[in-house]
């Protein structure tokens, strides 16, 4: 099976989910599903279909999409089964850090000036 996500790869999501993440949730099939959900969420929240326009985006925008989508997908991996983490708090801290990064990136992508930058770059 190959990566089907547009914005980020399975390996990028695995790195963010951490070494104690569930081996089941960190499989390519699961991460492909999580990436589809994350990409659809980003496109809907921003009211711009980055997936269909990905090839025309500049490298900075692609990097930001990678950041947000891999953070969201990694949250799904961590949430799937937190029993591998040394404590529940460890898993929750990872989720909080990933969520903060995703929210920060989404706020930039949703900004009208940033959207003009994306289109005009």
Domain ranges in the chain are 10-120
**1 has pLDDT over 70:** no
What phi and psi values does residue 4 have, to the nearest 5 degrees? -110, -5
Per-residue pLDDT band at 2 (split at 50, 70, 90): confident
pLDDT band at 117 (very low <50, low <70, confident <90, very high): confident
**Nearest one of 65, 80, 91, 85 to 33, comparing CA atoms:** 80
pLDDT at residue 53 above 80?
Answer: yes
């Amino acid at each position: 099976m190959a990566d089907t996500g547009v914005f980020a790869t399975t390996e990028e999501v695995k790195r963010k989910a951490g070494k104690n993440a569930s081996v089941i949730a960190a499989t390519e099939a699961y991460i492909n599903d999580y990436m589809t959900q994350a990409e659809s969420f980003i496109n809907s929240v921003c009211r711009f279909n980055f997936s269909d326009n990905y090839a025309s985006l500049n490298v900075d925008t692609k990097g930001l999409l990678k950041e947000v989508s891999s953070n969201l997908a990694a949250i799904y991996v961590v949430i799937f089964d937190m029993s591998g983490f040394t404590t529940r708090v460890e898993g929750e801290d990872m989720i909080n850090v990933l969520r903060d990064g995703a929210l920060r990136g989404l706020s930039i992508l949703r900004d009208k000036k940033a959207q003009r930058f994306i289109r005009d770059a």
